[in-house]
Amino acid sequence: MALMHKAQDPQFAERVRASFARQQAMTLIGAHLPVVEAGYTEIHLPHRPEVTQQHGFIHGGVVGMIADSAAGYAASTLTAHDAGVLTVEYKLNLLAPAEGQLLIAEGSVIRYGRTLIVTKADVYAVKDGRKTLCAVMQQTIMTMHGRKEKD
């Protein structure tokens, strides 16, 4: 779970959930955000044929999408209410096929800085109740102070 982090915005969970609801890419693939804590989020993606590749696994690009968003929203939980965040870079390692009934991306903050936030995401494939780590990601996020998201 998350390391101990202090959120600057007491309404961080509501702000992050509202942002996620506006993110059309997550809506398009059918992802949802059931867990929002200070420095930690989870994105769940039920298996859908529309996001699979030629072998029937969830496409690696889609795995990257939910990892990027889970870690990015983990960073966003710690920022001020009037700050936005953007991914500067990330490195994704695909470790096993993303196959099963559900993918779970667990995003967390490794180091919170004023301008740059280092995060990570672990992505698990859940098949028949068993979780398999299928991807790991490390990410750098830039905080845009005074530039909150468009409504």
**Residues belonging to the chain:** 151
Please give the model's pTM, rounded to 2 decimal places.
0.93
List the alpha helices (DSSP H) in 23-122. 24-29, 60-76
User: Where does the pLDDT of residue 6 fall: very low under 50, low under 70, confident under 90, or very high at 90 and above?
Assistant: confident
Asked if pLDDT for residue 1 goes beyond 70, the answer is no
Which CATH fold would you assign to the domain 12-144?
A: Thiol Ester Dehydrase; Chain A (3.10.129)
Return phi, psi of residue 59, to 5°.
-60, 140
pLDDT at res. 8: 81
User: Where does the pLDDT of residue 9 fall: very low under 50, low under 70, confident under 90, or very high at 90 and above?
Assistant: confident
Cβ contacts of 29 within 8 Å, gap of 6 or more: 45, 48, 50, 51, 62, 65, 66
Question: What are the pLDDT digits (tens) for 95-149?
Answer: 999 999 999 999 999 999 999 999 999 999 999 999 999 999 999 999 998 876 6
Beta strands, E only, 6-115: 32-37, 40-46, 84-94, 102-112
